Structure 1
Amino acid sequence: MRLRAVTSSTFLLIILSSLFVDVSVSASFLPALIKGIPLWLKNSRTSKFSSVWNKLKSLFTFKKGLKLGDVYKGLSEVKEYLDIFGYLNSTLNSNFNDTFTLELQSAIKQYQKNFNLQVTGQLDQDTYSMISQPRCGVPDVVNTTSFTRWWKPGRRELTYAIHPRNNVSNGVKVLLRDVFARWSNATSLGLAETASFDGADVRVAFVVLDGEGGTVGGAETNYSARFGSVYLDSEEKWVVKGESDEGEVDLESVLMHVVGHVLGLGHSFVEEAVMYPIVLPDKKKTKLAYDDLLRIHRIYGET
């Protein structure tokens, strides 16, 4: 099977996927696409995913690191990437160029520190290799330190639903139910499926993002309308059951990650954690690690 994703703040026209098929072994799925569906996802950041990832995929062939003062075709795309994920501030740099600036050096140092790379401030091969990995679309660096509940005060029961036009199989529904149950057990929140997508507190959809690789999914919250959005890229080779092969993405692991976001968690830079932002090959993450539990309990307390 295959599928794909977007974000939430103002309504966007996007292409939604449908047609999931039950599988009993490792397999990817290819959805039929339905055009022109207005969705509830909001953040225009996702509109940048496609152009950035497509240019980054085959950008660099250099052997040694780029450093402060260098001019190299394609550095503007690296700046765009670092801006999308919170390391640079586009309001200060509305037109990124191909010059290696002090701001870029600082952003790369923070990125290297986060991902346990050698902190050189240079765009070396190890740093670029990490940048080119499939990952979550939520920024790593967010200008807030506290979690604010987007649902109505006092609510302990939340509902979720998957977009009906995705027409997912029972296998995907069961997997989604299991994921929400695991987070429910960790938070003491009731998380139950509902048939009403528009009335659900958490709305899940497979939507078009940026093709295979790149951004596999993410989450957004709408504080004024009081709902959360979970999105998944419909063009990934999603594995519903079984081990993933090269180029495939384990759906359960990604769902665990993005549901964690909608419940208030940011990214973790502990590689074993569910909330680690990079999709690691051949590594399923279906159970909450110690770091995930430690941080979710800071929000909801021990269960």
Structure 2
Amino acid sequence: MGTRSDAIIPITSAFQSWQNVTPFEFEKIDDYSIPDVRLSFSGGAYFRENPRDVSYSSLQTQGRIYFRDDIPWVIGAQPRKMDIETVALHEIGHILGLEDSNVPSAVMYPTASWGVTKRNLDDDDISGIKALYKFP
């Protein structure tokens, strides 16, 4: 369990995208026992019960983001593969408290397409996080 070394840069970039539009500051720490958000690539019961999902996150489980470990994860758009940063950006939105959006261009839209990147927060994502935390 843990975060793959090739995922560090795209996941850091996803956190930076949210940091750029909020007053939040995110910092990578190496002590896995004390973070507010934990990331891991794993299998498990959730993915067996939800075989179409490539990731999930939950505030109820102490801010954890799980990436399915048997998915062909990549950096960038490649056919029949899933971009790490695209999915991380979406799941971090959930960890911050956002629900799925009905706006197809939004990062918080409930599905990500294989072989495609979606790395820019949409106006809907930004207005959602600002409304949730009541900052301008």
Same fold (TM over 0.5): yes
TM-align CA RMSD: 1.9
Alignment of 1:108-257 (within 5 A): 163=2, 166=3, 168-169=4-5, 171-208=6-43, 209-210=47-48, 214-222=52-60, 227-240=62-75, 242-245=76-79, 247-257=80-90
Deviations 1:55-99 (A, max 9, x none): xxxxxxxxxxxxxxxxxxxxxxxxxxxxxxxxxxxxxxxxxxxxx
Distance 1:239 1:233 in 2: 13
Deviations 1:233-288 (A, max 9, x none): 01111112x3220x211111000000000001000011111011112244311110
Letter in 2 for 1:259: I
Partner SS for 1:175: helix
Distance 1:281 1:222 in 2: 28
Bigger radius of gyration among the two: 1
Q: CA deviation at 1:222?
A: 3.3
Deviations 1:106-150 (A, max 9, x none): xxxxxxxxxxxxxxxxxxxxxxxxxxxxxxxxxxxxxxxxxxxxx
1:294 is matched with 127
Letter in 1 for 2:38: R
TM-score, structure 2 normalization = 0.87
Selected match of 1:270 from 97, 103, 109 = 103
Distance 1:198 1:206 in 2: 17
Partner SS for 2:26: strand
TM-score, structure 1 normalization = 0.41
Runs of 4+ in 1 over 3 A off after TM superposition: none
Distance 2:24 2:126 in 1: 14
Partner SS for 2:38: strand
Identity %: 28
Letter in 2 for 1:244: Q
Gaps of 5+ in 2: none
Distance 1:187 1:299 in 2: 11
